[in-house]
Amino acid sequence: MAKHFFLPWQGEFGCFITSFIRAVHTWPSEYKVVACRPGYECLFPTANEFFFDYSQILPDRKKRGRSARPWVRKRLQDLEASIRSRHPEYAAFEFVLPFMKYHCYRDTDVVTTRFRPVIAEQGLATDVVITPRNRRYVAKRNLPFWQEIVDALKQEGYSVGIVGHPDTTVQLQNVDLLSWHHGDMEPSIDLIRNSKIVLAQNTGVAHLCVFLAEPMLLMLSSKGMLCWMEAQRDPNVFFKTITPDPVIAVRESLAYLRNIDRERPTGTANENARY
């Protein structure tokens, strides 16, 4: 069996979660080296080694989908050549381009793969986690009413946390916890796991929530990638799509929270979330 070196993912974060990490996980290999961002190691439990010595290839606005566009392929091939010249220890490795085209219904052996990231738990927890994405590309898909939702939930006595990255997240007031104040991927996973519910829009973090099999209300502004969520989600975990409207979002969030508080008033937040 060959050894493999997985070049760094170049597409959107959602596709990274839906296909790349699962493909690496299931890839038959004697030894796996994964090039990724520091802090993302927990998403690759079958990797033997990680590689961080590379520069960003694409700006965020260019990370659309997961197609192997010629100019991106050329840059990755140049990166492979550079790595081979600087690191002779990888001479015998097969290099894998990070463009793995799977179908959300046909390629079920990869798409439905689930595994649990092992993280250093910090005990981060709020009642609700939100995902206020601030897109620079296709900014019209941003939702303008996140602050209304936060204020309404806080007024009802519920705590609110945000998962995301500071450069691509709407800055809000009156929030209890920001995942990036505690690190990168691991605190995001910790917070999602310990929340009672995630209120998301159709972004990469929503795919992360599906991957982690945690309860979610999805404000569906488009149907893009919804088929992947339906194929990959755990049918035993609460999942509901709603219209992207602040009144509906608050009403549905409160209904879920009050229901689990009534049915399971004791135990951890994560246990309540799985009622």
Annotated domain spans of the chain: 3-111, 128-273
Cα separation, 41 vs 46, in Å, equals 10
pTM exceeds cut of 0.85: yes
Q: pLDDT category, 241, cuts 50, 70, 90?
A: very high
Q: Read off the pLDDT of each residue in 44-48 and give the average, rounded to a whole number.
A: 97
From the options 3.40.50.1010, 3.40.50.2300, 3.40.50.150, 3.40.50.2000, give the CATH code of 128-273: 3.40.50.2000
Span of 57-61, 122-126, 154-158, 183-187 with lowest mean pLDDT: 57-61
With CA atoms as reference, report the closest residue to 224 among 144, 104, 59, 60. 104
C-alpha of 250 from chain center = 23
* Residue range 69-118, pLDDT digits in tens: 787 888 889 999 999 999 999 999 999 998 777 887 788 888 889 999 99
Question: Tens digits of per-residue pLDDT, 153-184?
Answer: 999 999 999 999 888 898 999 999 999 999 99
Tokens of 272: 């309540």
Is the pLDDT at 140 greater than 90? The verdict is no
Q: Can you tell me the distance from the alpha carbon of 118 to that of 236, in angstroms, rounded to the nearest whole number?
A: 22
